[in-house]
């Protein structure tokens, strides 16, 4: 039986489309990661889970996946939603807010990055192949800004460097803000730089020698704008043509709109084919807000502290909820629809996750008992898994997929006894369900080292296969005359600690640590 067609809603075309990777059966996509100035909240993780489900679904139908998800540790201005460089950097504001807790802004960034990765693993999200940090790619960003200036897509003032929206005809296509009047009517007319040519223009570089994180540039000391980092890191690790980009709906405009303008101005052609956005999350029917007491970070719910008075008493009394129950809750709403997170939904999810865990324990016991007998549940579980996969391929229909998963666990529960054959079928189904949805059991060790952050993209048992795949892709690009793409792949490998050597006998590679 051939796998179902994987379909996703493309914000760019406003249609649900079959996903057709540029490279056959190899999905390459970029996911906007967090700005690490505070703990990530459950709404943030709803978007990250969408990216994780795209990965899991692609792998379930037999595709290879290369995912890049960034860490923004500089450059996210508080007024970037206005695309105005007058806003303060969120990282710097956080350091000022938290007083003596951190020695410097780098300590703050490290702390919240590690906290984010802890939450990531707790919620059973799979690791991206590359997790680049903005501060580690400032030189790349500078080169991109210089290139945009040279190509006539950007200009300088005494205060910074701006992208000229007028130079890019397709600006506004993603968000629908295609008319200059519409764009000028927004808060973007709050302009603090009198030398900006157009209120629509957005900052690529801010000249600010007093900023806590700054680098020398052709325009003096300063730091990059927010939008340029994702354009640069996406194309650095995925090439100048890749399949898909994910993020929350709040990123459609201006962040992703600006990315498209930068990408295509740098590459000279369309770079990304599909844009997938996750809708906002409400809590108990209201917008999540600290002032309303319904603002929850992941760690608020899975490991509440004594001072977390806003966390409901039952959750605090039990020491937090199972992280898989939180993940299961966030799967109850399809990503493209607004979702109302409630404590009742969380309690129900906790009971369902417990059923999966109890079924898993029963199956393991039956496998140890090794009793002969028929397998009446295997075919039924196989059909249920097919329905789950069909639901996930249908624009990540998680409500339908989890409903089918509950039918599967009920099938295991209602079996009078489990023969060895039935137990093996049940184990196979539970493992496949966990691979697809991540709701049966944790995939990360509880004490997993956070050293996996950064650019340790090719680690573990699959390193050789991953390197060989990238080298095959590089060779194909060279054969097709796509030398820029081939160079980008080589740069990716070098950034990951792999030395590539072209010899008369062919291409060889080795770890730089082996030198």
Q: What is the DSSP string of 244-294?
A: EEEEEGGGIIIIIHHHHHHHHHHHSS--EEEEEEEPPEEETTEE--GGGT-
Assigned domain for 20 exists: no
Assigned domain for 14 exists: no
Q: What is the count of structural domains for the chain?
A: 3
- 212 and 120, same structural domain? yes
Q: Has residue 219 got a pLDDT over 80? A: yes
pLDDT at 84: 40
How many CB atoms within 10 Å of residue 464?
Answer: 10
- 156 and 219, same structural domain? yes
- 288 and 270, same structural domain? no
- 404 and 344, same structural domain? yes
pLDDT at 460: 40
User: Where is average pLDDT lowest: 59-73, 94-108, 255-269, 469-483?
Assistant: 469-483
pLDDT tens digits, one per residue of 420-456: 999 999 999 999 999 999 999 999 875 543 333 334 4
Nearest to 5 by CA among 24, 15, 20, 22: 20
- 347 and 244, same structural domain? no
Q: Has residue 217 got a pLDDT over 90? A: yes
Assigned domain for 13 exists: no
Give the tokens for residue 419: 């023969």
pLDDT tens digits, one per residue of 187-211: 443 346 889 998 889 999 998 887 8
Sequence-distant (6+) residues with CB within 8 A of 300 are: 308, 310, 311
- 418 and 288, same structural domain? yes
Choose one of 278, 293, 313: the last residue of a domain. 278
Assigned domain for 433 exists: yes
pLDDT tens digits, one per residue of 125-151: 999 999 999 999 999 999 999 999 999
Q: Has residue 378 got a pLDDT over 50? A: yes
- 399 and 268, same structural domain? no
pLDDT at 471: 84
Assigned domain for 317 exists: yes
- 397 and 489, same structural domain? no
Assigned domain for 115 exists: yes
Choose one of 234, 261, 278: the last residue of a domain. 278
- 188 and 144, same structural domain? yes
pLDDT at 165: 95
- 386 and 315, same structural domain? yes
- 178 and 98, same structural domain? yes
Assigned domain for 448 exists: no
CATH code, 318 = 1.10.730
Can you give the residue range of the structural domain that contains 492?
458-514
- 244 and 296, same structural domain? no
Choose one of 437, 472, 505: the last residue of a domain. 437
Q: Has residue 350 got a pLDDT over 60? A: yes
Q: Which residue has the tokens 């496949």?
A: 432
Assigned domain for 143 exists: yes
CATH code, 76 = 3.40.50.620
DSSP codes, 339-377: EEE-HHHHHHHHHHHHHHHHHHHHHHHHHHHT-----SS
């Amino acid at each position: 039986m051939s796998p179902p067609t994987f379909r996703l809603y493309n914000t760019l075309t406003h249609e649900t489309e079959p996903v057709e990777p540029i490279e056959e059966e190899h999905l390459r996509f970029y996911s906007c990661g967090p700005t690490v100035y505070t703990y990530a909240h459950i709404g943030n993780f709803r978007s990250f889970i969408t990216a994780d489900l795209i990965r899991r679904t692609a792998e379930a139908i037999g595709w290879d996946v290369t995912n890049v998800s960034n860490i923004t540790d500089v450059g996210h201005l508080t007024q970037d939603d206005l695309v105005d460089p007058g806003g303060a950097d969120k990282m710097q504001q956080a350091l000022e807010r938290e007083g003596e807790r951190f020695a410097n802004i780098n300590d703050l960034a490290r702390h919240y990055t590690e906290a984010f990765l802890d939450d990531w693993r707790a919620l059973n999200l799979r690791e991206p192949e590359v997790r680049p940090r903005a501060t580690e790619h400032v030189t790349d960003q500078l080169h991109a800004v210089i290139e945009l200036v040279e190509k006539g897509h950007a200009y300088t003032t005494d205060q910074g460097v701006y992208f000229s929206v007028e130079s890019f005809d397709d600006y506004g296509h993603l968000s629908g803000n295609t008319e200059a009047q519409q764009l000028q009517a927004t808060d973007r007319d709050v302009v603090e730089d009198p030398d900006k040519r157009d209120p629509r223009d957005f900052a690529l570089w801010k000249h600010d020698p007093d900023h806590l994180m700054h680098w020398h540039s052709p325009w003096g000391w300063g730091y990059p704008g927010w939008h340029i980092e994702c354009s640069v890191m996406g194309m650095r690790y995925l090439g100048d043509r890749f399949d898909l980009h994910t993020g929350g709906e709040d990123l459609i405009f201006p962040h992703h709109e600006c990315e498209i303008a930068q990408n295509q101005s740098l590459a000279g052609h369309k770079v990304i084919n599909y844009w997938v956005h996750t809708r906002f999350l409400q809590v108990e029917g209201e917008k999540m807000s600290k002032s309303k007491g319904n603002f929850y970070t992941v760690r608020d719910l899975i490991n509440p502290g004594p001072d977390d008075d806003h966390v409901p008493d039952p959750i605090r009394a039990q020491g937090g909820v199972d992280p898989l129950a939180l993940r299961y809750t966030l799967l109850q709403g399809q990503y493209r629809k607004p979702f109302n997170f409630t404590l009742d939904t969380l309690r129900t999810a906790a009971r369902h996750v417990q059923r999966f865990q109890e079924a898993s324990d029963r199956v393991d016991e039956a496998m140890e008992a090794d009793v002969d007998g028929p397998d009446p549940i295997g075919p039924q579980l196989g059909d249920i898994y097919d329905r789950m996969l069909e639901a996930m391929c249908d624009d990540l229909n998680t409500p339908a997929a989890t409903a089918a998963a509950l039918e599967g666990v009920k099938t295991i529960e209602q079996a009078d006894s489990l023969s060895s054959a039935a137990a093996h079928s049940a184990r196979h189904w539970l493992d496949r369900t966990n691979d697809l949805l991540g709701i049966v059991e944790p995939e990360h060790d509880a004490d997993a080292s956070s050293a996996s952050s950064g650019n340790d993209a090719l680690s573990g048992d699959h390193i050789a296969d991953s390197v060989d795949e990238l080298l095959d892709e590089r060779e194909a690009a060279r054969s097709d005359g796509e030398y820029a793409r081939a160079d980008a792949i080589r740069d990716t490998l070098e950034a990951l600690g792999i030395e590539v050597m072209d010899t008369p006998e062919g291409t060889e590679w080795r770890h730089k640590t082996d030198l």
